[in-house]
Amino acid sequence: MIGSSVVVRTRSWIVLCLGLLVVGSPAALAADCPGHPDALGTSRTLVVDPREHPRIGTMQYRETLPLKDHEVVLTFDDGPLPKYSNQILKMLDDECIKATFFIIGGQAKANPEGVRKLVAAGHTVGTHSMNHPLTFDRMPIEKAEAEINGGIQWTSAAMTDPSKLAPFFRIPGLMRAEGVENLLISRGIQVWSADFPADDWRHVSSDRVYQLAIQRLEAKGKGILLLHDIQARTVAALPKIIRDLKARGYRIVHVVPATADRPATPTTPVEWLLHPPTETVPIARWPSVPSFVFAQTEALPAPSLADLNAQTEHQPLLPRKTIALANVAATLPVPDRDLFAIPEGSVEVLLSTTLSRRAATRLAMAAETPRATRGKAGKSRGHRTAHAAPAGAKHTAQATGTAPKSIVPKSNAKSTAPKGAAPKSAVTHPTRVASLKKRAQ
């Protein structure tokens, strides 16, 4: 009985704790979201100074926003396009989520009301060029500047209060170029890449967009998510993404630029790295090599024995100068012919390793037959040699593949020669492995 009451009590504690976990955190965040008790909400506002951290987003840069674990920043590019942007805006409003929008100048020009809606809803609005060319990495800097200016001009023109425009810029297609980045930075504009996209501009299903968003977020644990508010698949995926963010305990962070009366959130440099180096994580980059100046370096004299305080008894231990040998022959002697002699009985072994068993047996028999019949006469010849042909011309011919045809006669190879009548060719010519191999094929 005591045991079961403990189990019951433990269970009620677990239920209570789970209840607090599920209801507790979103309820606290959604306190400022009237009419939407289950809203994901926005957990905090991060104020950044573009001049201190001019390039962000680990897809391309070393630094990213100083987010804590499980913090997410939502960004939407290429709008506003009423058909989809309005639906996205409604979903974010219902969840009390604040995001960052990168506006195309052309879209702002066509739909200024869309820009005003974003500002009125409290979102951050940056720009994304005038016409969204995907050539920022190779266009002349003057053209890039005109694209940047056009986007800023038309987006701020759409606003009731142009000072609401954030000095945030995302290069179209993330086609970064150092010249463009330097230009933006010199004007105090922060260059935004992202930490992960969800590929919602590709021809994939909305389910795929949702899966990629969550998988990539889970892989990094936090970061800037890149989405587009001009795609039907993004509209379809967003509710599922928000639902999962809630279920997995992620928190939304709203990013705004620092102003004179709104100082940047205090941070440390290491917080701007997605995964700060730790003792347990190996460093992936090699340390940089210092640039030495050799211009005025002189060659120092080599140390002498006196510098080593060497005693006479140390002499055998000290290195000695190697004396170069004079009068060494420039070429090595030609090896003696005997060096290439193949001992009696070795031919069969050689053949068996290079030929099929059947061919080897046949050729071995052919080689054996005349020798057996030759008896002492064969033996008295000593060795068969592979390089027995005396003339240098023949050696050359062999090397270039124009060797004379097999020197083992056909009749001999087939063992059809009568015993005791060794063909002349077998006696007068040596056995050549290369030729035999050729025949066997």
Residues lying near Zn ion in the complex (CB under 5 A) = 77-78, 172
Residue closer to Zn ion, measured from CB, 82 or 133: 133
In angstroms, what is the minimal distance from the CB of 129 to Zn ion? 8
In angstroms, what is the minimal distance from the CB of 77 to Zn ion? 4
Residue closer to Zn ion, measured from CB, 114 or 430: 114
In angstroms, what is the minimal distance from the CB of 131 to Zn ion? 11
In angstroms, what is the minimal distance from the CB of 174 to Zn ion? 8
Residue closer to Zn ion, measured from CB, 63 or 78: 78
Residue closer to Zn ion, measured from CB, 71 or 78: 78
In angstroms, what is the minimal distance from the CB of 271 to Zn ion? 28
In angstroms, what is the minimal distance from the CB of 132 to Zn ion? 6
Residue closer to Zn ion, measured from CB, 172 or 257: 172
In angstroms, what is the minimal distance from the CB of 146 to Zn ion? 18
Residue closer to Zn ion, measured from CB, 63 or 229: 229
Residue closer to Zn ion, measured from CB, 78 or 147: 78
What would the 3-class secondary structure string for the chain be?
A: CHHHHHHHHHHHHHHHHHHHHHHHHHHHHHHHCCCCCCCCCCCEEEEECCCCCCEECCCCCCECCCCCCCEEEEEEECCCCHHHHHHHHHHHHHHCCCCEEEECHHHHHHCHHHHHHHHHCCCEEEECCCCCCCCCCCCCHHHHHHHHHHHHHHHHHHCCCHHHEEEEECCHHHCCCHHHHHHHHHCCCEEECCCEECCCCCCCCHHHHHHHHHHHHHHHCCEEEEEECCCHHHHHHHHHHHHHHHHCCCEEEEEEECECCECCCCCCHHHHECCCCCCCCCCCCCCCCCCCCCCCCCCCCCCCHHHHCCCHHHHHHCCCCCCCCCCCCCCCCCCCHHHHEECCCHHHHHHHHHCCHHHHHHHHHHHHHHHHHHCHHHHCCCCEECCCCCCHHHHHHHHCCCCCCCCCCHHHHCCCCCCCCCCHHHHHCCCCHHHHHHHHC
Residue closer to Zn ion, measured from CB, 71 or 229: 229
Q: Which residue, judged by CB position, is nearest to Zn ion in the bound state? A: 77
In angstroms, what is the minimal distance from the CB of 128 to Zn ion? 5
